[in-house]
Structure 1
Amino acid sequence: MISGQPFRIIVVDDDKAMRLSLVELLEAAGWEVSALARAEKTQDLAADFMPDVILSDVRMPGMTGTELLASLDKSTSPPVVLISAHGDIPMAVNAMQSGAYSFVEKPYEPRRLLTILRHAAEQNRMQKTNERLQERLIQLSGLDRLLLGQTEAVRNLRTDIIDFATLDTPIMVQGETGTGKELVARALHDLGPDPAAPFLALNCAALSPDTFEVEMFGKHGESDGRLLAASGGTLFLDEICSAPLAVQAKLLRIIEDKQVLPIGGTEPVPVNLRFLSATNEDVDQAVSDGRLRQDLLFRLNTVVLNIPALRNRRDDVMLLAAHFLDEFASVYEIDRQALSNEDTAALLAHDWPGNVRELRNVCERRILLARRGGGSIAEALRTDQLDDVPETLREAVAAFERELIGKAIKAHKGRMDAAAEALGIGRRTLNEKIVKLGLNKDALL
């Protein structure tokens, strides 16, 4: 056993003498045993007993052992060992192909049976322990907040990030616009061996072949260049398919040689970079079109992480919307906005071509509309709803201060000392702002 706890097993066999014999053998070996004569009750018992392994006869009245195996959820159920007095090679092969951990013929050899069951239980416990540690690591790293969602695709993505974050290997992140490719890249860096190291993100579409070497390699005796400054950290190549071909050739050389030659220099300087890249395009099509070098692609896509589009994870839409609404309600200091049935219908009916980024923007617009006394998700989906929002930062700050001060004066029924204290400013400052913002105290009360 591992973890200091006895292994637990469910024994399923319709033969009473055989069932009792197996129970006696296992209890003598220190196992906690629960026995059944019928396979139909196994899943209900397993939910309470939480076995490390299930040992089941194959041929039984009602549900057979192979039918029991097929009925179990392979992702959550313990390993199943099948045992039969009528076993033959085809039956054993079929059992293993169906997902059985092992197959044992009756009469069984006690020591061999116990060894098989112990190995199955140990493997199951180690897997469960790893899953708990992984989930804990996800929570500690904040991935459960950064990459919100409970659909299988998002859970798998979080797991992949944890698994690959410590590997010094190129990773390509693929996903549509707005799915969060840079978020994933930053998570890979932050969970890596040295999160304090530089993270250099380059928009490949904005890179110029004429200025690339000066900017990235630097000038001998004058500047180090951005790549040398980021050495020891991560280079994130965003939208790699949009990089000019001349720049792609230079990037390929950096990846292969792990060094750069500053302008005016005679000796190459080594650089130590981890390469992450991202694209919202079909890379094979980009290669076919001549926009992406195939040799560069092969250097960058050692590992590929795919981010699902929001329309393919609709079960996460309501969770994400609630999170963003709460976030922006806090930012703009208004009450939490509950979703109406109409809001829910609008959220679920929309295809979200802009993915999570679009949903986040819609939720922010919904909160801004609520600050003005109305609004709905349907209205927030129309981008023309906020045409009268102040365009300059100064106007926006003034409007924000005007509303906050007005609310404080109302809340404290005109008691200016109390309003100033609630706002965290002095009484004199409050008076100055009232005059500057053109507020009418009497009109507010």
Structure 2
Amino acid sequence: MTDKRPYSILVVDDDRSMRQSLVDLLEAAGWSAEAVSRATHVAAKLTDMQPDVILSDVRMPGMTGLELLAGLDQNSEPPLVLISAHGDIPTAVRAMQDGAYSFVEKPYEPRRLLRILTHAAEQNRMRQDNTRLKTRLMRLSGLDRILLGQTAEVTALRQDVLDVASTRAPVLITGETGTGKELVAHALHDLGGDGQAMFVALNCAALSPDTFEAEMFGVAGQSDGRLARASSGTLFLDEICSCPPAVQAKLLRVLEDKQFMPVGASGTVTADFRVVSATSEDVPQAVRDGRLRPDLLFRINTVVLALPSLRQRRDDIALLSRHFLEHYAEIYELAVPEIDQDDLAALLAHDWPGNVRELRNVCERRVLAARRGAGSMAQAIQADQHLDDIPGTLREAVAAFERELIGKAIQAHEGRMDAAAEALGIGRRTLNEKIVKLGLDKDALL
């Protein structure tokens, strides 16, 4: 969130009239200004106030402005702008080399001075924001790191996950593509189940009535089915609204009694699994359209977790961006690009149709651009926008976006599927299923 507080400044000058003149100018411009007459008073003053910038004369009794500069911790204390009636090129060069933000000669031009001080204050606040984000990320662990964010929507979601995880109640997770539905499903499994139990993900759109029994129930003496592997664990039904109608009837019977008969077996098998389902579609509309059976919905929606879109949690964008930038900088062994005012403005102005998944992809692109010493968040975002080639339907748009995102992840990780799946925030099995569903040619991408 953008800091709306007025900028604050500490003025240091031994000339009383100059101090007052500077304070009057700054207060007239909307700043909060305080002043001291000696550089030796600055350290004590910094314990009482946290100015965005310090403006100091160079030549003063006791301690000069250059000596004040040398004593400041430039990693944690405000930037210093020096002002002097005895300005010369060597002094200015030395000041800048020693870390001064800028050097201004007296008599000063008010608009130029205010512009320099404003830029220094903006840069300092952005640095403080980045530092706070880094500190917050380092403190996060467990569910906080999985469901990253500080907005009310995400805080409530984390509490809901904690409340539901210890139960065996069926959970339906809804939310737009890219909001992290599979991450939430994994969190429910990890927090609530047996540490040795499996999380079995199933892409419902890829299920076929002809192979349902063999795939789900297994074949006696040959292979275990998905249900047997999910016993004591979690069966994750992804994109449940895309499940073929004929498969829904068979799935409903299994979910009702948790019993099934493997192909070729003479007796039934019981599997005690938890059902977690997910969809990016409008569930009531899917029921009205006849694409989702009402009786199946009633078996899977005991608890509904609605994931907010990134548009609904814009205050988390800076934190998420910092997290993803650090993640990819570590992978590519690069310095973490800083988020400046222009970057933040671009991030907040974007509509994020692909949600957190799209933001993650943008941050990876920004880190890759940093290898060439170039790039910005605005450029990284624009690379995802193809306004002249918009698919005709939402389903086509989602498929096109997923196809592009997966293709780029496979290319970025040079065909290493585990790394590509991790970068996309999905499981390896889900990635394989999406590659088949979307008709992607892995070899052609490489």
Q: Taking structure 2 as the reference length, what is the TM-score of the superposition? A: 0.55
Q: How many residues are aligned here?
A: 257
Structure 1 pair 212–395 and aligned structure 2 pair: CA distance change class (3 A): closer
In the other structure, the counterpart of 1:165 is 165
Given that 1:325 and 1:337 are in contact with CA atoms closer than 8 Å, whether structure 2 keeps it comes out as yes
Question: 1:153 aligns to what SS in structure 2?
Answer: helix
Q: How does 1:137-152 map to 2 (within 5 A)?
A: 142-152=142-152
Given that 2:197 and 2:233 are in contact with CA atoms closer than 8 Å, whether structure 1 keeps it comes out as yes
After TM superposition, give the deviation of residue 384 of structure 1 in Å: 6.8
**CA deviation profile, 1:231-280 (whole Å, cap 9, x unmatched):** 11100001100000111111111111211111122311111110000011
In the other structure, the counterpart of 2:203 is 203
**CA deviation profile, 1:39-58 (whole Å, cap 9, x unmatched):** xxxxxxxxxxxxxxxxxxxx
In the other structure, the counterpart of 1:192 is 192
Q: How does 1:19-418 map to 2 (within 5 A)?
A: 142-383=142-383
Structure 1 pair 140–271 and aligned structure 2 pair: CA distance change class (3 A): farther
Given that 2:193 and 2:233 are in contact with CA atoms closer than 8 Å, whether structure 1 keeps it comes out as no
Given that 1:174 and 1:181 are in contact with CA atoms closer than 8 Å, whether structure 2 keeps it comes out as yes
Question: 1:149 aligns to what SS in structure 2?
Answer: coil
After TM superposition, give the deviation of residue 229 of structure 1 in Å: 2.1
Work out the CA distance in 2 between the residues paired with 1:395 and 1:315.
34
Instruction: Percent identity, please.
Output: 64
Work out the CA distance in 2 between the residues paired with 1:185 and 1:254.
20
Work out the CA distance in 1 between the residues paired with 2:410 and 2:145.
31
Question: 1:191 aligns to what SS in structure 2?
Answer: helix
After TM superposition, give the deviation of residue 393 of structure 1 in Å: 7.7
Work out the CA distance in 1 between the residues paired with 2:168 and 2:151.
28
Given that 1:233 and 1:273 are in contact with CA atoms closer than 8 Å, whether structure 2 keeps it comes out as yes
Structure 1 pair 372–395 and aligned structure 2 pair: CA distance change class (3 A): farther
Structure 2 stretches lacking a partner, 5+ long: 1-138, 386-403, 417-446
After TM superposition, give the deviation of residue 390 of structure 1 in Å: 11
Given that 1:189 and 1:234 are in contact with CA atoms closer than 8 Å, whether structure 2 keeps it comes out as yes
Structure 1 stretches lacking a partner, 5+ long: 1-138, 398-445
Work out the CA distance in 1 between the residues paired with 2:191 and 2:140.
10
After TM superposition, give the deviation of residue 227 of structure 1 in Å: 1.3
Question: 1:200 aligns to what SS in structure 2?
Answer: strand
After TM superposition, give the deviation of residue 322 of structure 1 in Å: 1.1
Work out the CA distance in 2 between the residues paired with 1:345 and 1:251.
47
Work out the CA distance in 2 between the residues paired with 1:390 and 1:279.
23
Given that 2:193 and 2:232 are in contact with CA atoms closer than 8 Å, whether structure 1 keeps it comes out as no
**CA deviation profile, 1:339-391 (whole Å, cap 9, x unmatched):** 122111100000101100000000000000111220001110123799xx998
Given that 1:237 and 1:277 are in contact with CA atoms closer than 8 Å, whether structure 2 keeps it comes out as yes
After TM superposition, give the deviation of residue 226 of structure 1 in Å: 2.0
Structure 1 pair 332–278 and aligned structure 2 pair: CA distance change class (3 A): same
Question: 2:201 aligns to what SS in structure 1?
Answer: strand
After TM superposition, give the deviation of residue 282 of structure 1 in Å: 1.2
Given that 1:175 and 1:306 are in contact with CA atoms closer than 8 Å, whether structure 2 keeps it comes out as yes
Instruction: Output the aligned Cα RMSD.
Output: 2.3
Work out the CA distance in 1 between the residues paired with 2:330 and 2:140.
23
Given that 1:217 and 1:225 are in contact with CA atoms closer than 8 Å, whether structure 2 keeps it comes out as yes
Work out the CA distance in 2 between the residues paired with 1:215 and 1:150.
41
Structure ranking higher on relative contact order (CA contacts 8 Å, 6+ apart): 2
After TM superposition, give the deviation of residue 141 of structure 1 in Å: 6.3
Structure 1 pair 374–396 and aligned structure 2 pair: CA distance change class (3 A): farther
